[in-house]
A and B are shown apart, each in its own frame.
Chain A
Amino acid sequence: MTLDSKIPAGPLAEKWDNHRFQSKLVNPSNKRKYDVIVVGTGLAGGSASASLAELGYNVKTFCIQDSPRRAHSIAAQGGINAAKNYPNDGDSVWRLFYDTIKGGDYRAREANVYRLAQVSSNIIDQCTAQGVPFAREYGGQLANRSFGGAQVSRTFYCRGQTGQQLLLGAYSSLMRMVGVGKVELFTRREMLDLVVIDGKARGIIVRNLVTGTMERYVADAVVLATGGYSNVYYLSTNAKGCNVTASWRAHKKGAYFANPCYTQIHPTCIPVSGDYQSKLTLMSESLRNDGRVWVPKKKGDDRAARDIPENERDYYLERKYPSFGNLVPRDVASRNAKEACDDGRGVGPSKTAVYLDFADAIKRDGEDVIRQKYGNLFHMYHKITDEDPYKMPMRIYPALHYTMGGLWVDYNLMSSLPGLYVLGEANFSDHGANRLGASALMQGLADGYFVIPYTIGDHLATADLPKVSTDHEEFVKAEKEVSERQNKLLSINGKRTIADLHKELGLLMWDNCGMARNEASLKKALKKIPDLREEFWNNVKVPGSGEELNQALEYAGRVADFMEFGELLVSDALDRKESCGGHFREESQTEEGEAKRKDDDYSYVAAWEFQGVGKAPKLHKEELVFENVKLTQRSYK
């Protein structure tokens, strides 16, 4: 199969308009004849469910949590970008497009990114209309802040809880549609397989997490909005339940997985404190607006931060990148923190941390102003570390945070499997090899509110979709496979806990395919993962039964998928012998140690086709064509 990205013809700025005009529509009274399954209720799934239901489709929506309002999007702190240019500082659709393409290190599709920038303004309008309480200026207008990788202020925010407020907005629209009967909501359900009939996605198998019953659902199209896969690294800033299961099972059914090695390490997280650690907490990047990053100049300096005089501190980001300073993109900030620590200049008990210092900002603006901007983040930091960041600098270290890779989708957000759409963090579409801060929320809502409502109609109107029932043999087969796998997990009764095995996988991934990667480390990981997978399937202990609420069983299923998926991620990293964005191959760097792309050889999207567990996946390349921007090595100096 060849990959057709379906990028519309014509000038960049007209593509989306033209495309919408040329797409087939489903007439309003026919919409109610179509059923759409949406898996996931984060920003992407929540907004898609609400919008599709408003149009008249019958929507069935699924999530793992007890309420759609608890999807991981709730945790996003810093903000959402939009090219409103309210501050009059030179922003435009073009600039947001350009910043995103450049920030992504020229590994994203121009057409998708341009569309994202185009609809960004509508998102802010829509959310405001829903009652999202964005921060405001005294004159009553919306306030903006700046974020890494941009020289304009285009980030809208709700204190440090932007994701929460945007998600509650989408959730309220979703619940409104539940109320009028257009969305049927299924909470505490986990999708365990995709059902493909005559080459088209037609349904899903889910496990009812309360009763343990396997359930079958049929539809005319399936939309996955199940989030990212950072938890393959065990420790990440993601919620504990985040997983790759839905995407991975779809991949095994034929959907290609694109650029899995593009992972984002966030520079400002609270450092690891002990081996009981179950997750890492992010301190929003917005803090870098006012906080200054530094380490002591001297190696092994054990003095308390306050006792280190100004001239013995190295504000290394300001020193190395004078024009962006503390606001360089995430990958650059992360690698520099690692470098400082590898150089023996890390701080704190573990020596794997750097300072993020607010003393100057507090002196300049006063504690009240800082409290108003970041109060809840400071509070969170204080509660976790027992240290008061108003009095002493925060200690931060990079952690796995976001995954740019995901299921491959075309311009319509349809995967390589007809009828299967993928939205939000689960797809690979818009961020290339690195995502800019405040752009994930934008993309999730763009996909759900403003893209899928237009593009799904074309498939429904043109594809041959005969009625099928859940008795179809493909449903029977899929359910049987899922049950057998579950029974196998329950029957192993080995010696090791699920978390123990997950930690081992995570550490293996972090050490060999983390902030920096090289051929030797990747080959080592590729050798070790299959062994670990075998150890898992022979020696894991999963208590209880399948016919009840069994959190250990849920977890085991997700870890089992990570054990397969990790190998794909590493294979992709090995294939890409260039550095780009979050993917830093040590073999490919400039003399100054900056990432070096190899555009002649690697200017493609790597879309992988599943060939069997433990078998080398098959690579399909989608060449990236840049007609509107000139490729340069990124420089934030």
Chain B
Amino acid sequence: MSDTINLTLKLWQQKGPNEKGRFLTYEAKNISTHASFLEMLDVVNDELMEKGEEPIAFDHDCREGICGMCSLVINGRPHGPDGGITACQLHMRKFKDGETVWIEPWRAKAFPVVRDLVVDRGAFDRIIQAGGFVNVNNGGAADANALPIPKRNAEAAMDAAACIGCGACVAACRNASAMLFVAAKVSHLSFLPQGAVEKRERVLNMVKAMDEEGFGSCTNGGQCEAECPKEISVSNIARMNREYLAASLSSS
């Protein structure tokens, strides 16, 4: 299977947040089907540079699906056509020879474009800052086994904690809602006794921060779960809504 393919790429180019963007058309030739999607972009960028043109900026780092840095909408889908992975884990064997491939940044008001395919996801950090933690200082923690936690709770917490904060959920949602991201953190911490202590304040503070950042509201479209590279479940959203309701009632 040592095949190569040729593709027509439509790459989003945008100098800065306030500039107008446009698609650059590029013929990518002899791309190995074993290469990853980002390796294909590396090749394209090297060719552009050799021709004296500016490469297309895109975010990436770990290239193994865990840092959450890569953020490409490929043929209309965050992280591309294959389910349960990030763009950096996508391989060229998923594309057909002669295909046209559209490559765009996350599009959401709360994630302004920095340049080309790079967006600013600082809003996510600010949401975590508002409450996505356990209020515990370093030092003096009790023995880790002092508080047994049922395996099923630990596993459920881990399922939610697997979120890599990439923002695909926002990019996938027609309202650009960040509910799945926020709900994953809220659920992760609520499932554990350490986090449950502050669950009321946490959910209120995080949702408030989310709203202030300009994310849209959730209308239960479910696209977030479908495009989440870690397959985080929308049931977290329902759980967060219940917690939010309970917290609002008890605090008002």
- By a beta-carbon cutoff of 8 Å, the part of chain A in contact with chain B is 47, 50-51, 54, 65-70, 72, 74-75, 84, 86, 122, 124-131, 133-142, 158-159, 161, 164-165, 168, 171-173, 175-176, 178-179, 185, 187, 210, 239-241, 273-274, 276-279, 281-282, 379-380, 383-384, 386, 449, 453, 497, 499-500, 541, 543-544, 548-549, 551-552
- By a beta-carbon cutoff of 8 Å, the part of chain B in contact with chain A is 1, 15-16, 32, 34-36, 38-40, 42-43, 45-46, 49-50, 52-55, 57, 59-69, 82, 84-85, 89, 91, 93, 114-115, 118, 120-122, 124-125, 128-130, 132-139, 141-145, 147-151, 154, 157-158, 161-162, 164-165, 188-189, 191-192, 194-195
How far is it, in angstroms, between the C-alpha of A68 and the C-alpha of B55 when the chains are bound?
A: 26
A68 and B125 contacting across the interface, CB-CB below 8 Å: yes
Nearest opposing residue in chain B for A499, CB measure? B46
B139 and A126 contacting across the interface, CB-CB below 8 Å: yes
B65 to nearest A CB, angstroms? 7
Nearest opposing residue in chain B for A54, CB measure? B137
> What are 26 residue pairs bridging A and B, where the CB atoms are less than 8 Å apart in the complex?
A65-B69, A66-B69, A67-B121, A70-B62, A86-B145, A122-B139, A125-B141, A126-B138, A128-B141, A131-B188, A131-B189, A133-B188, A133-B192, A135-B158, A136-B148, A137-B151, A140-B150, A159-B158, A178-B129, A274-B35, A276-B32, A276-B39, A379-B84, A380-B65, A497-B46, A541-B50
B154 and A176 contacting across the interface, CB-CB below 8 Å: no
Please name all residues of chain A whose beta carbon is closer than 8 Å to the beta carbon of B89 when the two chains form the complex: 380, 383-384
How far is it, in angstroms, between the C-alpha of A51 and the C-alpha of B137 when the chains are bound?
A: 8
Please name all residues of chain A whose beta carbon is closer than 8 Å to the beta carbon of B150 when the two chains form the complex: 136, 140
14 extra interchain contacts, Cβ-Cβ under 8 A, other than A241-B61, A278-B39, A383-B82? A51-B138, A54-B138, A67-B121, A67-B125, A126-B139, A130-B133, A142-B144, A175-B133, A210-B114, A276-B43, A379-B84, A383-B91, A384-B36, A449-B139
Please name all residues of chain B whose beta carbon is closer than 8 Å to the beta carbon of A70 when the two chains form the complex: 61-62, 67-69, 165
A239 and B138 contacting across the interface, CB-CB below 8 Å: no
B121 and A384 contacting across the interface, CB-CB below 8 Å: no
B203 to nearest A CB, angstroms? 15
Please name all residues of chain A whose beta carbon is closer than 8 Å to the beta carbon of B129 when the two chains form the complex: 175-176, 178-179
B5 to nearest A CB, angstroms? 13
How far is it, in angstroms, between the C-alpha of A274 and the C-alpha of B43 when the chains are bound?
A: 13
A75 and B66 contacting across the interface, CB-CB below 8 Å: yes
A91 to nearest B CB, angstroms? 14
B144 to nearest A CB, angstroms? 4
Please name all residues of chain A whose beta carbon is closer than 8 Å to the beta carbon of B162 when the two chains form the complex: 159, 161, 164
How far is it, in angstroms, between the C-alpha of A579 and the C-alpha of B164 when the chains are bound?
A: 40
Which are the 3 A-B pairs with shortest beta-carbon distances? A140-B148, A172-B133, A129-B141
A129 and B142 contacting across the interface, CB-CB below 8 Å: yes
How far is it, in angstroms, between the C-alpha of A161 and the C-alpha of B65 when the chains are bound?
A: 11
How far is it, in angstroms, between the C-alpha of A306 and the C-alpha of B13 when the chains are bound?
A: 49
B157 and A67 contacting across the interface, CB-CB below 8 Å: no
B133 to nearest A CB, angstroms? 4
A28 to nearest B CB, angstroms? 13
Contacts A65-B69, A277-B39: A240 and B138 contacting too (C-beta < 8 A)? no
Contacts A67-B124, A141-B145, A383-B91: A172 and B34 contacting too (C-beta < 8 A)? no
A175 and B128 contacting across the interface, CB-CB below 8 Å: yes
Please name all residues of chain A whose beta carbon is closer than 8 Å to the beta carbon of B143 when the two chains form the complex: 125
Please name all residues of chain A whose beta carbon is closer than 8 Å to the beta carbon of B139 when the two chains form the complex: 122, 126, 449
Please name all residues of chain B whose beta carbon is closer than 8 Å to the beta carbon of A141 when the two chains form the complex: 145, 148
How far is it, in angstroms, between the C-alpha of A131 and the C-alpha of B192 when the chains are bound?
A: 7
Please name all residues of chain B whose beta carbon is closer than 8 Å to the beta carbon of A159 when the two chains form the complex: 158, 162
A205 to nearest B CB, angstroms? 22
B52 and A75 contacting across the interface, CB-CB below 8 Å: no
Please name all residues of chain B whose beta carbon is closer than 8 Å to the beta carbon of A282 when the two chains form the complex: 64
Say which residue of B36, B57, B132 sits within 8 Å of A551 (CB atoms).
Answer: B57
Please name all residues of chain B whose beta carbon is closer than 8 Å to the beta carbon of A386 when the two chains form the complex: 1, 91, 93
B154 and A133 contacting across the interface, CB-CB below 8 Å: yes
Say which residue of B91, B144, B158, B192 sits within 8 Å of A125 (CB atoms).
Answer: B144
Nearest opposing residue in chain A for B40, CB measure? A276
A67 and B122 contacting across the interface, CB-CB below 8 Å: yes
A75 and B67 contacting across the interface, CB-CB below 8 Å: yes
Please name all residues of chain B whose beta carbon is closer than 8 Å to the beta carbon of A51 when the two chains form the complex: 138
Say which residue of A124, A134, A274 sits within 8 Å of B154 (CB atoms).
Answer: A134
B67 and A65 contacting across the interface, CB-CB below 8 Å: yes
Say which residue of A65, A125, A136, A210 sits within 8 Å of B149 (CB atoms).
Answer: A136
Please name all residues of chain B whose beta carbon is closer than 8 Å to the beta carbon of A66 when the two chains form the complex: 59, 69, 120-122
How far is it, in angstroms, between the C-alpha of A158 and the C-alpha of B64 when the chains are bound?
A: 17
Please name all residues of chain A whose beta carbon is closer than 8 Å to the beta carbon of B135 when the two chains form the complex: 176
A239 and B61 contacting across the interface, CB-CB below 8 Å: yes
Please name all residues of chain A whose beta carbon is closer than 8 Å to the beta carbon of B164 when the two chains form the complex: 74, 164
How far is it, in angstroms, between the C-alpha of A176 and the C-alpha of B134 when the chains are bound?
A: 9
B61 and A128 contacting across the interface, CB-CB below 8 Å: no
A284 to nearest B CB, angstroms? 11
B66 and A175 contacting across the interface, CB-CB below 8 Å: no
B31 to nearest A CB, angstroms? 8
Please name all residues of chain B whose beta carbon is closer than 8 Å to the beta carbon of A142 when the two chains form the complex: 144-145
B106 to nearest A CB, angstroms? 12
How far is it, in angstroms, between the C-alpha of A136 and the C-alpha of B149 when the chains are bound?
A: 8
Nearest opposing residue in chain B for A185, CB measure? B125
How far is it, in angstroms, between the C-alpha of A227 and the C-alpha of B190 when the chains are bound?
A: 33
How far is it, in angstroms, between the C-alpha of A500 and the C-alpha of B43 when the chains are bound?
A: 11
A130 and B136 contacting across the interface, CB-CB below 8 Å: yes
Say which residue of B49, B136, B149 sits within 8 Å of A543 (CB atoms).
Answer: B49
A129 to nearest B CB, angstroms? 4
How far is it, in angstroms, between the C-alpha of A547 and the C-alpha of B118 when the chains are bound?
A: 16
How far is it, in angstroms, between the C-alpha of A453 and the C-alpha of B53 when the chains are bound?
A: 48
B154 and A135 contacting across the interface, CB-CB below 8 Å: yes
Contacts A128-B144, A276-B39, A386-B91: A140 and B149 contacting too (C-beta < 8 A)? yes
Nearest opposing residue in chain B for A240, CB measure? B61
A261 to nearest B CB, angstroms? 26
